[in-house]
Amino acid sequence: MTTSHYIAGRWVEGQGSDCISVSEPALGLPFAELMAASVAQVDQAVAAAREALPTWKQVSASTRAAFLRGFAEQLGQRREALITLQMRNNGKPRHEAEIDLDDAIATFAYYADLAEQLPSKNRDVPLAAPGFTARTRLEPVGVVGLIVPWNFPLVTSAWKLAPALAAGCTVVLKPSEVTPLIEQTYGQIADTLGLPAGVLNIVNGKAETGAALSSHNGLDKLSFTGSNNVGSQVMRSASAQCRPVTLELGGKSAIVVFDDCDPDQAVEWIVAGISWNAGQMCSATSRLLVQDGIADALLPRLQAALEKLRVGNPLTEEVDMGPLTSQAQWLKVASYFATAREEGLQCLAGGQALDREGWFVSPTLYADVPKNSRLWTEEIFGPVLCARRFSTEAQAIAEANDSRFGLVATVCSADLERAERVADALEVGHVWINSVQAVFVETSWGGTKGSGIGRELGPWGLSAYQSVKHVTRCLG
């Protein structure tokens, strides 16, 4: 693939020094290559977005909504190809790849509806003081850079791209170098729909490309999803320009199981929270807090459930969990298995990389993990679950909140009043009660503490790309 960058409405060849090798993780083999964008091409993409902004932000909300609905429809028409690519490049089981695509479609459709509901550009503001009038304008923030991760390509980019376009912004999108292919679809759809040149630009590359975009003085905002290490670099780059950022970063989330739960039902929620996408989720509920009264019944059931998960190549087998998406991630997770052995942790299930082609690891459960263990405190980004017991509700809340992260949590209890009370006490951005991690576009996404800045999805996702202006006039 040579024409792998979409700049100013044209597909162009990469002129950077990096060659990006795209792999199939179930086989551990590359299947595509593309040349990264050069720093000069990042400049060209930002310039194209800047040139397109004055016209695009004046386009009617109904016209922008029509384009967004077009994205949703075109994604649906490419359904089987996109599902297959998610399975091949990410290693996702088919049912997960299908949900990813449905999520992206729903996101574009939702922001199309929201765009049509935008208030008129001017809204009167009542003032207590006589002799003045005031009005409010909601305006697009401008040219935005969007940097998205490899664990949910297509989805995370939809969460950013749809509200940005709905607000009237123009964008430069940088996909992950691990999974760069599926985001090419957005450029193809832009061509099909006749989206004005420069409104959407896509540049692929590694760290050099990301750094060039995040530090570019032609941006008005940057939205980044990824690791805390890279997020801190992005924030430093933005601070040099005093530029607003949205950061969706890591997590080390808790799932709290009280002893009034049905243990079999609780196992279903626990397994989903750690095995979905092979645990490669910032929202993975990788810290299990289980009340004393249910622990002895729950843990053996959980061990058996993890051992029964079918792990394999989603393109050739019926599987529950696929491989890790990259060799780097496979090596990282394997290093935590070694750390667990060094720390003498009690392994009830898994705890090893699988001896087969591809980047597979076993679903893993450690019991009675000390609070000072690296596996309890650090984000692993793999199907590695650590369990601890608790006695009281207050203890559960304290231990769940004892983390530098604050993205999500799950509460499992038959006492709904208690479940709601605990949910309110947890220092996170999203809580599920007696549920798998169902994410709806109407709700918000984002966290507290070290899990990031700002919110995506819902009306909050749209407001992240809007600037508020007030105009006050003296009547005298």
Active centre residues (catalytic): 248, 282
Distances in whole angstroms, Cα of residue 371 to Cα of each of 228, 289, 375, 377:
21, 11, 9, 7
Residue located via tokens 């220092």: 427
Q: Are 15 and 204 in contact (CB under 8 A)?
A: no
CA-based torsion, 77, 79, 85, 90: positive or negative: positive
Alpha helices in 309-378 (DSSP H): 327-343, 374-377
Structure tokens at 399: 């231990």
Give me the residue label for tokens 């690791």: 227
User: In this structure, is the dihedral angle defined by the CA atoms of residues 189, 191, 193 and 198, taken in order, positive or negative?
Assistant: positive
Instruction: Tell me how far apart the alpha carbons of residues 271 and 261 are, in angstroms, rounded to a whole number.
Output: 15
Half-sphere exposure of 399 (CA within 13 A, CB side): 25
Q: What torsion do the CA atoms of 184, 188, 194, 195 make, to the nearest 10 degrees?
A: -10
| Structure token digits, residue 144 | 């935005």
CA 219 to chain centre: 22
Decide: helix, strand or coil at residue 48: helix
Max CA separation in the chain (angstroms): 81
- C-alpha distances in Å from residue 1, one per residue of 12, 71, 89, 177, 352: 10, 23, 15, 14, 36
